[in-house]
Structure 1
Amino acid sequence: MKRFYKQAQAVKNGDVYEVQLDGRSVKLPESKAPLSMPVRGLAEAIAAEWDAQEGAVVPDSMPLMQIASTCQDKVSKLRAAMHDQLMKYVDTDLLFYRTDNPPDLRALQEAAWDPVLDEFETRYGVRPIVTDGLVALSQPQALHDVIDGILSKLPDEAFTVAQIAVPASGSLITGILFTLGALDAERVLSICRVEERHKDGIYDADKYGQDPSIEKADKAMMQDLQACRQYLDLLAAE
């Protein structure tokens, strides 16, 4: 749609801050309730996304707006179902499944993934099982219980970030540690792109260039993860 407003700004309304376009509150896509933030900084950042639109309004260029809308419109109502979906990653996490051949790819996996499992074990006292077999793993109940507890204790805003980071990375362990601030966006990308980087080495991507589709996917993922980090940082700043 075309830009239909002249000014976007954050406006205090009681205990919250709304994003307004020419004095009218931005409404959530589904509930049609006003989009509201608990802190001014986040509302101002979302208003800046609206203000940066030129000609046409492009939702994909407003990641903070999308995260905040998901939190207020969906997570607040569908959290239990989303929780169950995330728990399915306990047995299918990318980090748990290793190759046995070629050896250099296995070495890259261990170098990228084992420190993440080390960090998780240090924090929570349980270490996932890993395999190089083809049969799906069944992780110990202790791991299921720990992760269930972690997700349950996250506030809606942090849960929203986990709900984005886990599917994006293919790893529940990685997504949780990213949400908690133990991993940054660059590290998450390197963790979940080990196989692609191995292929880059085989096909000499430094000389001939990276696969354009992978490069595009990496850029989109970085934008999403960086927006997630900014979202949580702005919430914590006030």
Structure 2
Amino acid sequence: MSEWAMKRFWTNVTVEGAKDGHRVLLDGRRVKTPAKTDLVLPTEGLAQAVAGEWAAQEGKVDPMSMPCTRSANSAIDRVAPQRTEVAAMLAAYGDSDLLCYRADAPEELIARQAGHWDPVLDWAEEALDARLETRTGVMHVPQDGTALAALERRVHDFGPFHLAAFHDLVGLTGSLVLGFAAASDWRRAEEIWTLSRVDEDWQAEQWGVDEEAAELAERKRQEFLHAKRFFDLAGPSGVI
């Protein structure tokens, strides 16, 4: 991260429209990614969010306070050069989706999983043309290939910026279906995050809250909400 070890040297932060998108300028100079590529954003809204992060820096630049900048860097430097591989990795979540693996006891947990997760699977069947089937226990049972192919096509249609955000929407929840649900505004992002925590919340109710685990969960929640915001700022995906 040595490329971030800098102090604020600029006075003005502005946004410049261009043929290929929008750029952020520091005293008229273009911001570049860590790989020294021009930081070109797909929408003015995302460019303004990135510009706001640069404008807020005082003294030494703190990349941890610049989530949109970091996500944009990732989209350009890491996702774009290997978009096919990233999409394939995310699509693979469909075959072991969190929502499909159900407890066999106790009855209250079985009912809670069904009540929270079945509506999302029903939505995916209607909106994404993909019906994923539930299983009991943790042993892997392959899903129907037609359903997986329908989901995979949609993942591969995302551009680099949406795919960078989608990576976190899926990875943080462990669910391809919840990632699509968040991206498509099926429910509020907070509600979708809560759906991904059904098992953990159940355990906390039974055994009490583990403070360290709760702190980690909160960090992941914040990252999930940022990923949703970044996805939206990147503009219409054209996929969902």
Shift of 1:155: 2.8
Shift of 1:109: 1.3
Q: Does 1:107 align with 2:106?
A: no
Q: Does 1:226 align with 2:225?
A: yes
Deviation string, structure 1 residues 160-206 (Cα, Å, up to 9, x no partner): 221121111101111122122223321222111112211222245xx
Q: Match of 1:176, SS? A: helix
2:25 alignment counterpart? 20
Q: Match of 2:135, SS? A: coil
Cα distance in 2 between the residues matched to 1:115 and 1:231: 26
Q: Does 1:66 align with 2:95?
A: no
Deviates more, 1:167-176 or 1:9-18: 9-18
Q: Kindly tell me the number of residue pairs found equivalent between the two proteins.
A: 231
2:175 is aligned, of 144, 147, 171, to: 171
Q: Does 1:135 align with 2:139?
A: yes
Deviation string, structure 1 residues 54-78 (Cα, Å, up to 9, x no partner): 3432222211112211212222110
Q: Is the 8 A contact 1:8 1:50 kept in 2?
A: no
Cα distance in 2 between the residues matched to 1:14 and 1:86: 31
1:126 alignment counterpart? 130
1:207 alignment counterpart? none
Cα distance in 2 between the residues matched to 1:107 and 1:14: 53
Q: Is the 8 A contact 1:8 1:47 kept in 2?
A: no
RMSD: 2.1
Identity of aligned residues (%): 30
Cα distance in 2 between the residues matched to 1:129 and 1:183: 21
Cα distance in 2 between the residues matched to 1:2 and 1:213: 32
Deviates more, 1:75-84 or 1:212-221: 212-221
Q: Match of 1:107, SS? A: helix
Q: Is the 8 A contact 1:127 1:143 kept in 2?
A: yes
Amino acid at match of 1:122: E
User: Structure 1 length normalisation: TM-score?
Assistant: 0.87
* Unpaired runs of at least 5, structure 2: none
1:217 alignment counterpart? 216
Shift of 1:34: 1.4
Deviates more, 1:134-143 or 1:217-226: 217-226
Deviation string, structure 1 residues 76-123 (Cα, Å, up to 9, x no partner): 110111122112212211111111112222222112211110110111
1:148 alignment counterpart? 152
Amino acid at match of 2:26: L
Q: Is the 8 A contact 2:84 2:156 kept in 1?
A: no
Q: Match of 1:54, SS? A: coil
Shift of 1:135: 2.3
Decide whether aligned partners of structure 1 residues 92 and 44 sit closer, same or farther in structure 2, where only a CA change above 3 A counts. same
Cα distance in 2 between the residues matched to 1:137 and 1:160: 28
Shift of 1:2: 4.8
Cα distance in 2 between the residues matched to 1:81 and 1:236: 23
Cα distance in 2 between the residues matched to 1:162 and 1:217: 20
1:181 alignment counterpart? 185
Q: Does 1:236 align with 2:240?
A: no
Shift of 1:20: 2.4
User: Structure 2 length normalisation: TM-score?
Assistant: 0.86
Decide whether aligned partners of structure 1 residues 22 and 219 sit closer, same or farther in structure 2, where only a CA change above 3 A counts. farther
Q: Is the 8 A contact 1:9 1:44 kept in 2?
A: no
1:29 is aligned, of 30, 34, 39, to: 34
